[in-house]
């Protein structure tokens, strides 16, 4: 993850954290130390063609001031939905910390060279899986998938696996963060960061009733 190593910055006038990315970095580092499995797991919510929301778990692969990056098959349900309606919401929940972060914003595609660089770091079996799986489409039986895996494993047995043209990444550019901390008697703490434009440097903050 390409996160900042800075300490949490606090506004001198309000006493609140001034940069939600720095606060995310602090919480995420704590989650990496306390969560037993996949601290980078996040719920991704998209908008379907019928305007119904659609949610599933994905893995965060990079985060910076530019946004939150994850990778997928562009022909999958989430891929087609994001290409048609490029906006989404994320939700991290770390039970060990009793904390949650919700993030909303527009989506953009990562540059091809960035996707190539990440794809090259994946295990070869995962690279082959990206070619073999017609993600989100009907499958008659497990044997269909196994045949496709065998086909592409043979094709790339002695050479580098190229990134499939239909497999790449998306970056969510936050316009809104909400940091939630569980408190006794359901009097939870909620802190929201807002900005009107993804290029804006300054955020407004507000506390919410639980």
What span, in angstroms and rounded, lies between the C-alpha atoms of 112 and 60? 18
Which residue is associated with the tokens 């407004």?
A: 204
Q: Which of 56, 148, 163, 186 is catalytic?
A: 186
What span, in angstroms and rounded, lies between the C-alpha atoms of 54 and 48? 6
Q: Is 56 a catalytic residue?
A: no
What span, in angstroms and rounded, lies between the C-alpha atoms of 124 and 40? 21
* DSSP bridge pairs for 147: none
> Which 8-state DSSP code applies to residue 198?
T
What span, in angstroms and rounded, lies between the C-alpha atoms of 128 and 194? 41
Nearest to 1 by CA among 79, 74, 67, 82: 67
Catalytic residues: 186
């Amino acid at each position: 993850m390409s996160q900042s190593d800075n300490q949490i910055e606090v506004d001198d006038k309000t006493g609140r954290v001034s940069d939600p990315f720095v606060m995310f970095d602090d919480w995420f580092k704590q989650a990496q130390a306390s969560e037993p499995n996949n601290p980078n797991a996040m719920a991704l919510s998209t908008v379907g063609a019928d305007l119904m929301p659609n949610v599933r778990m994905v893995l965060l692969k990079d985060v910076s001031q530019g946004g939150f990056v994850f990778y997928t098959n562009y022909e999958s349900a989430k891929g087609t939905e994001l290409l048609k309606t490029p906006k989404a919401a994320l939700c991290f929940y770390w039970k060990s910390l009793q904390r949650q972060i919700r993030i909303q914003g527009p989506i953009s595609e990562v540059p091809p060279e960035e996707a190539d660089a990440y794809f090259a770091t994946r295990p070869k079996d995962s690279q082959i899986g990206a070619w073999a799986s017609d993600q989100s489409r009907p499958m008659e039986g497990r044997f269909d998938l196994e045949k496709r895996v065998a086909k592409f494993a043979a094709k790339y047995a002695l050479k580098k696996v190229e990134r499939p043209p239909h497999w790449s990444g998306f970056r969510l550019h936050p316009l809104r963060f909400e940091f939630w901390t569980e408190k006794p008697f359901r009097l939870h703490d909620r802190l929201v960061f807002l900005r009107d434009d993804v290029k804006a440097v300054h955020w407004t903050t507000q506390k919410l009733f639980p």
